[in-house]
Structure 1
Amino acid sequence: MKKLTMKQIEAATGGKLVTGNGSLEVSNVCTDSRKAKQGDLFFALIGENHDAHQYLSQVVDAGCRCGVISKETACQELPDDFQAVLVEDTTQALQDLASFYLEQLNLKKIAVTGSTGKTSTRDLTWQVCSEKYKTEKNAGNFNNLIGVPLTILSFAEDAEVAVIEMGMDRFGEIDRLAKLTKPDIGIITNIGLAHIENLGSQENIFKAKMELTNYFDETSTLIIHQNGEFLKKDRVKGLYQTVTTGFDGKSDYIIISDIDDFGAEGIQFTLEHQGQTQKFQLPIPGRHNAFNAALAVAAGGRLGITMEEAARGLAKARLTDKRLTIRGKDGIKVIDDTYNASPDSMKAAIDVLMHTRGLRSVAVLGDMLELGETSREQHQLVGRHAAEQGVESLIAVGKEAEHIAKGAKAAGMEQVLWFSKKQDFLKEMDSMIQKGDVVLVKGSRGMAMEDIVKKIME
């Protein structure tokens, strides 16, 4: 992060410097009192279940001497050498400071959103852009109204490109993130059913994702993978430019070959763009990552990165942890896709399982949350997909996952078990998984399915 003075922070946040003269400089922003240190700017955020103002003494003890607060009474606990800016809302102030900081940097901004594949597409786009430019991206899952500002405030001052993943579960959140970042290029991966419980319909999910374009102008570019009812060129058109990927000859970037799926070893495919063809090899599993990679190549193309350069970058691709991460222990191969789950990503992960070599395919699948009235049907469809793809053993974990088990049984699968509680399965797991198995573990974030991976790997 480029150094900022407390005077600059006062101006950027619209706050008031209530202690000190504003001369101190900060080189890092922190919201976790346990990690605060000398040279940091601590934001005392207030959430539903916590108020960081109560940890200011801990921050001071750690050597931090700069903070943004929203309670003037907190100043009474601060030492004389602490410099504090008082604001109305510390979360909004964090966003305002990030917006100010971003304006100081001379870089191109690529925003990535979608129902599934956001993080993978972000990682792949970062890999493409890094082949030619100094490129920044979100750390881990920092993709919300707090995570994105923290991401921006970590950018090096000499960064040339930023790839920013944006998540949401309701209307207005993408709008706020787009207003904050003012992206030059936007990518929408797909429109699925994630968060339909909050948004009510797929049409509303589409509208919420399209908030990404709210601050576009004629120089901006929206990139989509043409697939399904919503992501079509005529449905997303605006005053901005539109670039498409897909299988049909009308797309700007055409996937012209069958996608070769080598399981754990990765995939291979060919793209055509403006008469030029290029073969791509990705060392990551999942044929669906060809679609994500095509979006990344298209984004790179807008920044002058050739397909040949993009191919070199993608050949080195690595995905964020818990996204189709393949681990091994005692002859058991584990596909750890535990970060989150939706109907589309569940089916894609099952496909990866079936292309990964082993003696027996085992799917341990947990609840998919926030599906609202569609939950029962979507869980049953996942179970049916597992049966149709030939999964040999299915273990469903969680209340809603009972319907995965029912869907699999209805489609003819014989080895199907259901546990309403994860702990009950963990007690019996050793008798159900054996040497030579390839085990897919996946479920929504709230299910913490990584506990199962951890026990297998012990």
Structure 2
Amino acid sequence: MAFTVSDAAAACGGISYGPEAEAARAWRCDSREVREGDGFAAIRGAKTDGHLYIKQAAEQGACVVLAEREGLEGAGIRPADFPGVSFIVTERRTEEALALAASEYLRRVAPKTIAITGSVGKTTTRELTAAALAQRYKVHSAVRSFNTIIGCALTVLSMAEETEALVLELGTNHFGEIAEMVKYFPPETVIITEVAPAHLEGFGSVCGVLRAKLEICGSAKLKKIIFNCDNALLREAMSHNYDNVIKIGVGREAGAGILIEECRVALSDGGPSTSVRCREAGREITLSAPLFGEQHAYNMCFALAAAESCGVSAQETARGFDAMAQLGGRGLCRRTARGVWVIDEAYNANPASMRAAIRNARAAAESLGLRKCAALGGMRELGGSAPEWHREILEAAAGFDSVLLLGDEWKECGAPLADNFTLCSSLDELVSRALEESAKGGLILVKGSNSYGLKKAVAALTEE
């Protein structure tokens, strides 16, 4: 066994009980998701305590449990009561113990490590980067948006010992979060996709967002920074800092290391396609991926630069992109039996991503001569500037034939609603009205903060 329960216990200063077993495996923090052979990390959350669900996790097949001694005592659980389960018992908080164990495992496997952060485009860039690297390496990345310290630890512990390249996604809503992640999981290559209004309740301003994102550059192993050089804040920060590492700017403006010269977006019976022609060191490169939206030109070029930093050629990157599948909740385009296009952007929203989604949907509908509708949820965590940003989005969507709105943010922003806007009182009402719009044909964009549950609207529109 390459990395055992005993090894993990030593890494986090804990004690192991029960049979020796491999610690590197799929781990869960939600007992309902546990499958046979998984590890279960008993985490104390704001609403409940994972220690209360250890028995359920064991019954569902967990064979390794990470828990706090105090939590076990409070739940009345003894490792001896589960003879077939290996326990790692720690005096630390489970989150810290999990990160320490994962950090030690990462040190032992020692893959090429790339980490991605930014206000938008993190997950898409992660998937593009993994697809490119997979043309040459055994790659591991998160199966979903595991972009917290717990999520990164779960991702690292689930990678195979033979992993040669690891791609991590780092999100944040408060200062110090990314700094802590790169302390445990230091990348050699980092990507900063964008700095835009997001999580302003925690950061106060876009300058605060910049400060938080730049924490990724504190990695002890940092060798290369890939960044959006069309963003003035990022461009300024890079021009005066980090002179000891390689910096590659991606953008449409002169001076970019990878210059985006042209981007084309198409929507056909085969689904969406975004193609980009870019120039790097005097050579022209053309890439295409099953994505929807001009913003993905940046994401594709970020991934190109990251793959090249690991020795993957542009030709190999292009093959990796061609083999990708669409990403659910992030511009996934589906055509219903009635011929209506549904653009699924239901995963999340901030002003930058909302503007891009509206712009892309409008362009696609108009190019195909289609009626256009949008079902929009409010944007959360924007602090005191929320009304201003919501008013801006209402203006951006003014040209749609119909716009369905969900959330108090739209009502509280103080803007009068034109006749083509409808403020829905509940998700069920929005779903009902969206189905009515679907009967009229055309294209329907669905986007909003994840907490509004707009995936239910996508399901209702596409289940036929």
TM-score normalised by L of structure 1 = 0.91
Matched, 1:434 2:439: yes
Within the candidate set 44, 65, 68, 2:66 is matched to: 68
Quote the residue 1:252 is aligned against: 257
Distance in 2 between the 1:405 and 1:373 partners? 13
Matched, 1:382 2:393: yes
Residue 438 to residue 403, structure 1, CA distance change in 2 (3 Å): farther
Deviations 1:14-67 (A, max 9, x none): 1123x34x6344452333333445544332211111112222222333454432
Residue 403 to residue 415, structure 1, CA distance change in 2 (3 Å): farther
Matched, 1:45 2:24: no
Matched, 1:106 2:114: no
Distance in 2 between the 1:179 and 1:268 partners? 36
SS at match of 1:286: coil
Asked whether the 8 Å contact 1:380–1:403 carries over to 2, the reply is: no
Aligned length: 447
Asked whether the 8 Å contact 1:395–1:418 carries over to 2, the reply is: yes
Residue 315 to residue 83, structure 1, CA distance change in 2 (3 Å): closer
Quote the residue 1:354 is aligned against: 362
Kindly provide the amino acid, as one letter, of the partner of residue 215 in structure 1: S
Residue 405 to residue 236, structure 1, CA distance change in 2 (3 Å): farther
Q: How does 1:37-186 map to 2 (within 5 A)?
A: 39-71=37-69, 72-73=72-73, 74-75=77-78, 78-88=81-91, 89-186=93-190
Distance in 2 between the 1:404 and 1:432 partners? 25
Asked whether the 8 Å contact 1:255–1:269 carries over to 2, the reply is: yes
Deviations 1:379-415 (A, max 9, x none): 111121223xx42222222111247894774xxxx52
SS at match of 1:401: helix
Q: How does 1:25-40 map to 2 (within 5 A)?
A: 25-28=22-25, 29-36=27-34, 39-40=37-38
Within the candidate set 276, 294, 307, 2:301 is matched to: 294
SS at match of 1:349: helix
Asked whether the 8 Å contact 2:136–2:312 carries over to 1, the reply is: yes
Identity of aligned residues (%): 30
Residue 61 to residue 228, structure 1, CA distance change in 2 (3 Å): closer
Kindly provide the amino acid, as one letter, of the partner of residue 201 in structure 1: S
SS at match of 1:244: strand
Residue 210 to residue 335, structure 1, CA distance change in 2 (3 Å): same
Distance in 2 between the 1:13 and 1:226 partners? 40
Quote the residue 1:454 is aligned against: 459
Asked whether the 8 Å contact 1:259–1:268 carries over to 2, the reply is: yes
Deviations 1:345-389 (A, max 9, x none): 1111112212323530111111011111111111111121223xx
Asked whether the 8 Å contact 1:15–1:87 carries over to 2, the reply is: yes
Asked whether the 8 Å contact 2:340–2:442 carries over to 1, the reply is: yes
Kindly provide the amino acid, as one letter, of the partner of residue 175 in structure 2: F
Quote the residue 2:9 is aligned against: 10
SS at match of 1:162: strand
Residue 145 to residue 55, structure 1, CA distance change in 2 (3 Å): same
Q: CA deviation at 1:261?
A: 2.2
Quote the residue 2:381 is aligned against: 370
CA-atom RMSD, angstroms? Answer: 2.2
SS at match of 2:443: strand
Deviations 1:48-107 (A, max 9, x none): 111122222223334544322213522177234544222121111111111011111131
Q: CA deviation at 1:255?
A: 1.1
Kindly provide the amino acid, as one letter, of the partner of residue 254 in structure 1: L
Asked whether the 8 Å contact 1:337–1:442 carries over to 2, the reply is: yes
Kindly provide the amino acid, as one letter, of the partner of residue 223 in structure 1: I
Quote the residue 1:265 is aligned against: 272
Deviations 1:290-342 (A, max 9, x none): 01111111111111222222222222333431111112222221101000001
Kindly provide the amino acid, as one letter, of the partner of residue 250 in structure 1: G
TM-score normalised by L of structure 2 = 0.90
Deviations 1:172-228 (A, max 9, x none): 1101111111100000000011101111111111011111011245x6111101123
Distance in 2 between the 1:349 and 1:147 partners? 27
SS at match of 1:85: strand
Distance in 2 between the 1:255 and 1:456 partners? 35
Q: CA deviation at 1:3?
A: 5.0
Distance in 1 between the 2:450 and 2:395 partners? 22
Distance in 2 between the 1:456 and 1:216 partners? 48
Instruction: Decide which moves more: 332-341 or 84-93.
Output: 84-93
Q: CA deviation at 1:236?
A: 4.8
Gaps of 5+ in 2: none
Matched, 1:398 2:407: yes
Residue 293 to residue 428, structure 1, CA distance change in 2 (3 Å): closer
